[in-house]
């Protein structure tokens, strides 16, 4: 791949082939949803293709540029989801699901997280409910410590302590398995 320019469609296609699975994995690990991961992956590559002329090799590799776009997509999604989620909750509505079972399973296999998700859920089960909730809010939903504190009705310092304690306990749990 030509590291200086991605304006060539063949270079972009090679970038897609080399990174699509990693981008999908990135989103699935952060959202836990095959539907969302697939949508965000598609949005990332569409956005990248639309702005391919802005790629500057002096600022990083094509992969770094792409993951920068992916990070921006994830941030926008998380902001929208918080707003959308509160509106749905007020109306008592469920989140709709678009992917069929086969598509979901394929994504989970592609990102190779089925075992990891189960292990993580089991490890979270070893934490106290308050600590587990703090970790889920901070890490799973990528909320700020201030947002975690507000959600749990505690101080930001207490939120930081709970998350730190939970992550330490999870690290110990995973080290014991190794």
Regarding predicted confidence, which is higher, 83 or 12? 12
Q: Which tens digits make up the pLDDT trace of 75-114?
A: 988 887 766 666 666 666 665 555 666 776 677 666 665 5
Question: What is the model's pLDDT at position 1?
Answer: 45
For 123, phi then psi, to 5°, come to -65, -40
Q: How confident is the model at residue 162 (pLDDT cuts 50, 70, 90)?
A: very high
Task: Report the C-alpha gap between 150 and 146 in whole angstroms.
Answer: 6
Same domain, 86 and 153: no
What residues make up the domain containing 173? 113-177
Predicted confidence (pLDDT) per residue in 126-140, tens digit: 889 999 899 888 887
Whether 94 and 23 map to the same domain: the answer is: yes
Whether residue 48 is found in the same domain as residue 89: yes
Please answer whether residues 90 and 7 qualify as being in contact, where contact means their C-beta atoms are separated by less than 8 angstroms. Answer: no
| Domains contained in the chain, number | 2
DSSP letters along 90-114, please? HHTPPPP--S-HHHHHHHHHHHT-H
Q: Which two tokens stand for residue 75?
A: 């941030």
Q: Are residues 98 and 135 in the same domain?
A: no
């Amino acid at each position: 791949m030509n590291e200086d320019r991605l304006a060539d469609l063949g270079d972009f296609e090679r970038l897609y082939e080399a990174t699509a699975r990693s981008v999908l994995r990135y989103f699935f690990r952060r959202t836990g949803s095959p539907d969302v991961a697939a949508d965000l992956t598609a949005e990332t590559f569409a956005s990248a293709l639309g702005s391919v002329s802005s790629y500057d090799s002096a600022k990083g590799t094509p992969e770094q540029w792409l993951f920068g776009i992916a990070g921006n997509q994830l941030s926008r999604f998380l902001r929208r989801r918080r707003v959308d989620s509160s509106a749905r909750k007020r109306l008592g509505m469920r989140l709709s699901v678009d992917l069929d079972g086969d598509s979901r399973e394929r994504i989970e296999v592609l990102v190779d997280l089925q075992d990891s998700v189960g292990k993580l859920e089991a490890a979270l089960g070893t934490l106290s409910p308050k600590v587990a909730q703090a970790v889920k809010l901070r890490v799973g939903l990528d909320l700020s410590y201030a947002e975690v504190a507000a959600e749990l009705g505690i101080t930001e310092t207490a939120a930081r302590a709970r998350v730190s304690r939970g992550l330490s306990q999870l690290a110990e749990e995973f080290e014991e398995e190794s």
